[in-house]
Amino acid sequence: MAESGASPLPPTPEAPSPLARAEQFVWLTARVLEQRRFAYHFLGGGADAVETALSAYRNEDDGYGHALEPDLRGPVSQPLHTAHALRVLASIGRCGGQRVERVCRYLTSVSTPDGALPAVHPSQRGYPAAPFVPIVDDPPSELLATGPVVGLLHRNGVWHAWLFRATDFCWQAVESLEKSHPYEIQAAVAFLDSAPDRPRAEAAADRLGRLVREQRLAALDPDHLEAYPVAPGYAPREHHFPHDYAKTPDSLARAWFTDAEMTRSLEFLVGLQQEDGGWPVLWRQWAPSAALEARPVVTIEALRTLRAYGLSVD
């Protein structure tokens, strides 16, 4: 017991919030683009600064390169880089106008004969790339690359000739899916969430939700991950959770999961924040630079998902 007249103990300092910890992580490790994005989403920063930072990745062909998507290194434009750029533009309300018209011209130039996008254009050959990204001379169309781009353009009211055949490809690919893997399902959701034909999208999403549960593509109990298989070629801990599919409450994928399953998923996401304030990269790591650049991207998206569901991160 303290002696009479002794000074009271100083108050215990409050632990920094998840957002404050993430902010320190971003300033310590992130590229300028992610610093600007973090400032825009969480610190009241402006959209112009984000767009200026993103423009450093744009090439003369109106695509994007320079390792914007960290697993593809080198300067050349790639569909995956360009999809990343469109996500950034959409997140700041700038996915429209002449800049996106020019992007659509690039997409047209690299499309396959059926009007869709390959995951990786052969121009990547000769530059470093993740070993799990195949580079072939005549790459096939991929829902993985095409679905998110088509969805973003529809969501933002973009109309371009490229979209007609690309949209048809996405419908055919989504409605014929039988055996799939998490990233392909995520691409399908990105398309369906913004596809113009809403009744058709809802029906397709309902079928995909049953497929996800039947094939155990979503880890519904984070405490027993051994019950959920990891897709072939994925890293040992590369599970996907309900929040990975339903990134916002208004996603069609939200109906795939019960309230309890979604709550567990979001609680697990909160718990993934590491001591340095960032969220981890769960996919297979192959180069220190790629992992270092990807973690701030993952961190920003984790915080945005938590906020979308009304969880306080401040």
Domain spans, the chain: 177-314
Q: How far apart are CA 224 and CA 220, in angstroms?
A: 9
CA-wise closest residue to 205 among 163, 241, 167, 177: 177
Helix (H, G, I), strand (E, B) or coil at 261: helix
Q: How far apart are CA 100 and CA 106, in angstroms?
A: 10
- Could you tell me where the DSSP H helices lie in the chain? 18-29, 32-42, 47-55, 79-91, 97-110, 143-155, 161-175, 182-192, 198-214, 242-245, 259-271, 288-308
Write out the chain's pLDDT in tens, 314 residues: 445 556 666 665 678 999 999 999 999 999 999 999 999 999 999 999 999 999 999 999 999 999 999 999 999 999 999 999 999 999 999 999 999 999 999 999 999 999 999 999 999 999 999 999 999 999 999 999 999 999 999 999 999 999 999 999 999 999 999 999 999 999 999 999 999 999 999 999 999 999 999 999 999 999 999 999 999 999 999 999 999 999 999 999 999 999 999 999 999 999 999 999 999 999 999 999 999 999 999 999 999 999 999 999 98
